[in-house]
Structure 1
């Protein structure tokens, strides 16, 4: 087990679960190891949606697909891109209901969207890296389409079909407040409460944390406020992944923040015990977004694990 020396759970109805609508940006060009690679930032048209995605790095390098959390969008990975793209082809996209992806209120498959992005950029096989809800999507893809997955990284996420876990009183109170804000249609308040629950965690106070991190978490989630009333409907994996992860045959890094909520901690233990090639990592002084709160430490752990497993 990897321990961070320094430093999912059933997901509530997140603002990000409603679609975004913005135009794609022009590409820029960056230098890596003396070679030039164009950063692509287009949209991919799929049934009922235009998926916004970005790529960085050499398309001939081993591929990584980054899938964001339910209180964020693909911008959550910004601190990691330069380092990852030195030796990898990095692909990330805004899932439906988030960021710059445009969607209709139709049924869809998150797994199919992820594979469509990989197909579009010419990737046959990738290491999937997902945080929270993104981790659950990554697991679903891995069990349903194992031939497309070289490795799996799950941060604060769990397999679909995981049974409910009893919440603490503090967690219960925060979920009740989230429900009240949602029923009232108070989207800014809902976004703030989601940051309090997930990014800060029930056992910590925002006043005691790095204000830069709190601002980043709020920015990532508040960007979804304007999309709050959009409602695409994700199809559930059948059968769910919870009883299928035992069959995974690729290296897996299972990570969690020590101050994450009770269900996320339970899912972490389950995956660590059940996934055959799992390595565990607990990030100290972090809750649900360790890659945002401690980007350098997360980057160190991830790059080391990728190298150790030849990914």
Structure 2
């Protein structure tokens, strides 16, 4: 019987957070889990993906991305499909619709009003209305640890990333699309369309949850990830 290669977990974070947003998932595959912070890895999603992949030692990876991290995961699948055993995309929009006005507005808010104002305007509303204050405060603290320069770079990478609809539809492995039931970016409709587009796509909806499933519902996400990992090993 052929022995399956050791599996690694590569987590790619959402804006405007960093790799620490995955703390609740850190024990799923001990010593084979990677949570890089992306902002300083380059000025494009391609550069982020190439650099993030160097963190992982394992031959095969379950690549998990939230929001822009999901786009980074799709870039890895496009550039190095042989390394990707499965994709888990959380609150991810594979196709980019240019929105230069929003791009400029976020950068201007950070520059003129500061990070706190940008958080309240653009990211705090992405949490479910029922999200615990402790959860949103913890996310805000992660955000405020970032420099304005790094966040601005992340915003520009997000707004200039390619579209990955074709990658999503041609990737040969399993793709699990996870959406908070109250996520407005991209929302359930887009998430369902993406699951249907994938060759081996599954949509999982997490009730009473917004955009940041790893923070809002970490245990539910861990259940989902355990199932994905087990499927790779044939359990």
Q: TM-score, normalising length from structure 2?
A: 0.81
Distance in 2 of aligned mates of 1:279 and 1:140: 19
Q: Which residue of 2 aligns with 1:31?
A: none
What's 1:114 paired with?
49
Q: Is 1:215 aligned with 2:137?
A: yes
Aligned residues: 227
Partners in 1 of 2:144 and 2:191 — Cα distance?
27
Structure 2 unaligned segments of length 5 or more: list them.
Answer: none
Give the aligned partner of residue 187 of structure 1. 115
Q: 1:243 to 1:216 in 2, by over 3 A?
A: same
Shift of 1:176: 11
- Structure 1 position 301, deviation (Å): 1.8
Distance in 1 between residues matched to 2:43 and 2:185, nearest whole Å: 29
More strand by share: 1
How far the C-alpha of 1:220 sits from its partner, in A, is 1.9
CA distance in 2, matches of 1:252, 1:120: 22
Q: Which position in structure 1 is the counterpart of 2:83?
A: 148
Q: Does 1:244 align with 2:198?
A: no
Alignment match, 1:71: 16
Match in the other structure for 1:90: 33
CA pair 112-150 structure 1, distance change in 2 beyond 3 A: farther
Pick one of 83, 107, 124 that aligns with 1:196: 124
Q: What's 2:146 paired with? A: 224
Unaligned 5+ residue runs, structure 1? 1-59, 166-173
Counterparts of 1:250-265 in structure 2 under 5 Å?
A: 250-261=173-184, 263-265=186-188
Deviation at 1:237, TM superposition (A): 6.0
Q: How does 1:149-168 map to 2 (within 5 A)?
A: 149-161=84-96, 163=97
Larger deviation, residues 210-219 vs 261-270 = 261-270
Deviation at 1:94, TM superposition (A): 0.6
Cα distance in structure 2, aligned partners of 1:79 and 1:183:
32
CA distance in 2, matches of 1:287, 1:131: 12
Partner residue of 1:289? 212
Deviates more, 1:277-286 or 1:141-150: 141-150
By how many angstroms is 1:270 displaced? 1.9
1:195 and 1:217 in contact (8 A); partners too: no
Q: Provide the aligned C-alpha RMSD in A.
A: 3.2
Which protein has the larger Cα radius of gyration, Structure 1 or Structure 2?
A: 1
